[in-house]
Structure 1
């Protein structure tokens, strides 16, 4: 069992994290599955990858159903918990489509039903074949193909868009942060798309907009006002860091050892189309 844990832990964690959007829930899912697997007869573990993935999938499907009820009472928008990228490539080597680990993709996954999300993650992110997915979910292959097509439609993305997704590089993030700190509205607006959207998750525990902010002018003003508010609240005693979160370069704001926020950006034609700000302190513990 220790060998199986070393071999499949990263894969199972990746699967659970993409299905739940929560690092804590993903860790719990993996631990729970391996505890239960200790009581499984060795004959049932002749194909350990399939069996363990099925156990994690069922665990997360049950978790998703209860999580949806909790999120109905959540204060403001709900965003996934950020995941610090591993120092080694252990996680990345288990993922066929690394771009699907992106934070923007996790946000889009929230549009799907638990079953649609499971099919999408297994097929697009982890490269499972349709027969494997059908066996894991106890469904027909044709049904799984329909679920994937429906998932793509709900997410509003095509296969081409998945392949050509723009990576957020350190140099680009640095340029954006410099423009923001200079306080020039025109410079900030030049880096935003016309329909840019700013979404913040405070969870009722940190100040954040209760609804998404949209349009180039409004988002630029929100960003500049937010920076002024930080300077006033922390009396200038805060700093920005570039952090490797969810396989991309993100901005983390810290003050006196406390993580204040984590910011993710999604690009379109080399301009910011979405900004996600995680402010809920419960989701910043591991950042």
Structure 2
């Protein structure tokens, strides 16, 4: 690897995390970063005051172009949309720097969907990656005062979606295991103990496989859904991975009784599950296949 490529590799994880938070697709994020890599080789790097800031600008602008082109596809999406799951083992270090993590919580990713592309860029660059307004202004081709206004509006829309409760690795493994066992057996008592009163279930099949077309809200409705599934399929074999982190949340990869692959991520507050995010759309499960086949 030559010196130019080696220097770029120091920023790859950061750039992938930036693009993923902008787009919600890990595959698209990788494509964007590869495009940035090609542009990196065409620039006179000696003239760059900050290679990191320059690369962030390139990736941000490429993402904004993709978002404009993909807007109609998101509007026509079948059922609830969830971001492509980012899977990490529980053995990964907990103190990894933000530039080297792609653990964007699902609730935050869903909140980002409510923002305009420019608001989303301003929020991610400033509040996630701590870039200053001068750098953001160059990246999105707006004035600094305009960037400040974009950030204010973005923060207003994000609101309560900011992560407030961190689950440690041991608790994550325990909760993922307990939840999987409970839904496999239809143990209503255990499920009720695990679920928060206002628990929600999001299931993303993208119109490709069977999934709920609406979000299921409330402990009782979520409980009935899983007990009903267990009653329908019995204790059918449901192969699953060891507990994992999915977008930084406790979770796992499994196959349903019909053999369809899916990821399940659990949002936890005060020891109870407040949201369940199940991704079943096969277009979003490339990383999950690698885990399932490992």
Distance 1:165 1:120 in 2: 20
TM-score using structure 2 length? 0.84
Matched, 1:216 2:222: no
Distance 1:3 1:20 in 2: 26
Shift of 1:7: 1.2
The 8 Å contact of residues 201 and 280 in structure 1, kept in 2 or not, is answered as yes
Please identify, of 99-108 and 81-90, the stretch whose mean Cα deviation from structure 2 is larger. 81-90
Task: Say which of 79, 102, 113 aligns to 1:76.
Answer: 79
Distance 1:220 1:42 in 2: 57
Distance 1:266 1:90 in 2: 17
Q: What is the CA deviation profile of residues 195-253 of structure 1, one whole-angstrom value per residue up to 9, with x for unaligned ones?
A: 22111110111110111111111111112223455x46xx8242222223223331211
The 8 Å contact of residues 15 and 56 in structure 2, kept in 1 or not, is answered as yes
Evaluate the alpha carbon distance shift between residue 31 and residue 91 of structure 1 in structure 2; reply closer, same or farther with a 3 A threshold. farther
Shift of 1:142: 3.0
The answer for the alignment partner of 1:265 in structure 2 is: 266
Distance 2:72 2:200 in 1: 26
Matched, 1:139 2:121: no
CA RMSD of aligned residues (A): 2.7
Q: How many equivalent pairs are there?
A: 279
Task: Say which of 29, 33, 42 aligns to 1:26.
Answer: 29
Shift of 1:33: 1.0
Distance 1:99 1:80 in 2: 12
Q: What is the CA deviation profile of residues 253-272 of structure 1, one whole-angstrom value per residue up to 9, with x for unaligned ones?
A: 1379x761101111233222
The answer for the alignment partner of 1:239 in structure 2 is: 239
The 8 Å contact of residues 30 and 56 in structure 1, kept in 2 or not, is answered as yes
The answer for the alignment partner of 2:292 in structure 1 is: none
Task: Say which of 174, 194, 197 aligns to 1:194.
Answer: 197
SS of alignment partner, residue 203 of structure 1: coil
Evaluate the alpha carbon distance shift between residue 89 and residue 170 of structure 1 in structure 2; reply closer, same or farther with a 3 A threshold. closer
Shift of 1:108: 2.0
Evaluate the alpha carbon distance shift between residue 5 and residue 189 of structure 1 in structure 2; reply closer, same or farther with a 3 A threshold. same
The 8 Å contact of residues 10 and 90 in structure 1, kept in 2 or not, is answered as no
The answer for the alignment partner of 2:97 in structure 1 is: 93
The 8 Å contact of residues 17 and 102 in structure 2, kept in 1 or not, is answered as no
The 8 Å contact of residues 99 and 165 in structure 1, kept in 2 or not, is answered as no
TM-score using structure 1 length? 0.86
Distance 2:230 2:279 in 1: 15
Shift of 1:37: 2.2
Distance 1:268 1:146 in 2: 31
Query: 5+ unaligned residues in a row in structure 2: which ranges?
Result: 289-294
Distance 2:93 2:56 in 1: 20
The 8 Å contact of residues 79 and 213 in structure 2, kept in 1 or not, is answered as yes
The answer for the alignment partner of 2:291 in structure 1 is: none
Query: 5+ unaligned residues in a row in structure 1: which ranges?
Result: none
Please identify, of 265-274 and 74-83, the stretch whose mean Cα deviation from structure 2 is larger. 265-274
Distance 2:55 2:209 in 1: 38
Matched, 1:41 2:44: yes
